[in-house]
Amino acid sequence: MAPLAQSKDKDAKGFRRPFQRGGTWGSVEYSVVLGALITIVATVWIAQNFEQVWTIWRAEQTAEELVDDGISNLGWKDHTVQITRLESAVELGAVQCTGSFKAFVSVVSRYDRAESSALLLVVCLDGSPPAYYLDRGSGKGADKWIVHLEGGGWCRTAAECLDRAFTQLGSSRYMPDEIYLGGMMSSNPAVNPDFYNWNRVKFKYCDGGSFFGEVNEALTMTQSMANHHSERTATVYYRGMRVWNAVMTDLLAKGMENATKGFLAGCSAGGLASTLQCDNFKNVMPEKATVKCLSDAGFFVHMPDIKGQDSIESLYRDVVTLQNITERLPESCTSVRDPSLCIFPTYRLSTITTPFFMLNPAYDNWQFYNVLIPSSADPSFDWESCKSNLALCTEGQMELVQGFRDVLLNQLKDLITNPKDGAFINSCYTHCQSEQDWSWSGADGPKINGKTELLTTSGHLCIRQSISQVVGEWFNDDTAHIVVDCAYPCNPTCH
């Protein structure tokens, strides 16, 4: 009998040979190759779209809370938040401001600008009452509180403070009656999945000294207007510490005294304030509450400018002196160095016992304009192009730019010593990043390769995480979350 014809795609023993040129593949080979291709495509897609995947997952995680709150992702609507002006003054009597809330005796009386005991008033620079915006929490967030301190620089002289007194940075008279809250203060669960249903407080900045000044005497000044044809006379008050305590008193009465979680945050000068007030915030909260703090763009570097002048040090010295801040700074710092230096975070963070998160760009554009390259250090405007766009810096300028990042990281690295602290230091050329939806959690916002990893068939793929993800993981965890970016211009998510 003639032998059976051997199949072209099998060898002499009958085994399939799929990879022989001209041969055919069977279902097993097709399945293996197709499965591998699907895995690769899926891995790449998830890596590129992780933000969206994570947002959907978090939305599902909070579905029960959304039902409890009577809202849904699809039914969420943006809304404004009304201002609350303290129409009362907290009388401190003979008790001195020490920086500790518990040292105060708070007796609330009706606010009256004509009150004779003006020394006792808790007021903004111009004598108007302090103010904040409160968006009430709901559902499982009803007993949780986040307080965000507004930024806006400082006034270093009485004349500068008088100028501020005629703006919303020095008077509640000029503050809008309602505002929108965004970023980490948003009520949108898709934008702010960890804190959207908390009681969210926007604490307005109106004292010019990062909520930390305390001067009993009021200063009455007469100032010539810019047109030199008229004058204005006003009384200026430096009462930032009293403003802080008065608002804390008011919030406690409105339910914060029953909080199970508390989160103090702030941007820029407000970020510095969250550093200065962090432990005080912990002290006012219920003893069993989980309390943490965050500074957004508040790590102001202690370094000379490009001409070797101590521009930022001089600014802080003037503010500390003008607003009598020294006595509220820790003795462990003031006893070993110039007290005015103790307002710098590099000397203050190590004294904080409350878990702390530092959110800061390694290339803080406010600090480039005011710390590294102030106008006084660049009279010929050689740095204008570089400051406006880092891509336009010369090779020599870029060395100084990268040197700023090195100093910032060096001053920061030894301060995150608490195993429960956190940091998100990206390579973006920006300032505050916690108050805008896109920078906080947006798909086109800044991201860094973070702690979260995706397990794939080929191993672990590190996922770029948004600020919201890293801060949320840190707050809800008891371990450190330190995420530091590579040097400029490595991060394509920076805009």
Active site residue ranges: 268, 364, 431
Interacting residues of 361 by C-beta distance below 8 A, sequence separation 6+: 297, 425, 426, 427, 428, 429, 430, 431, 433
How many residues are there in the chain? 495
Q: Is the bond into 379 cis (omega within 30 degrees of 0)?
A: no
Under 8 Å between Cβ of 378 and 388: no
| Total Cβ atoms within 10 A of residue 140 | 16
Of 82, 84, 81, 100, residue with least CA distance to 92? 100
Under 8 Å between Cβ of 300 and 275: no
Q: Compute the C-alpha angle 217/166/104, nearest 5°.
A: 40
Under 8 Å between Cβ of 272 and 348: no
Cα 106 to Cα 112, 255, 485: the distances in Å are 17, 17, 45
- Sign of the dihedral defined by the CA atoms of residues 435, 205, 303, 335, in that order: negative
Query: What's the CA gap between 142 and 256, in Å, rounded?
Result: 10
Q: How far apart are the first and last CA of the chain?
A: 79
Under 8 Å between Cβ of 157 and 272: no
Query: What residues does 483 pair with on adjacent strands?
Result: 424
Query: What's the CA gap between 404 and 362, in Å, rounded?
Result: 8
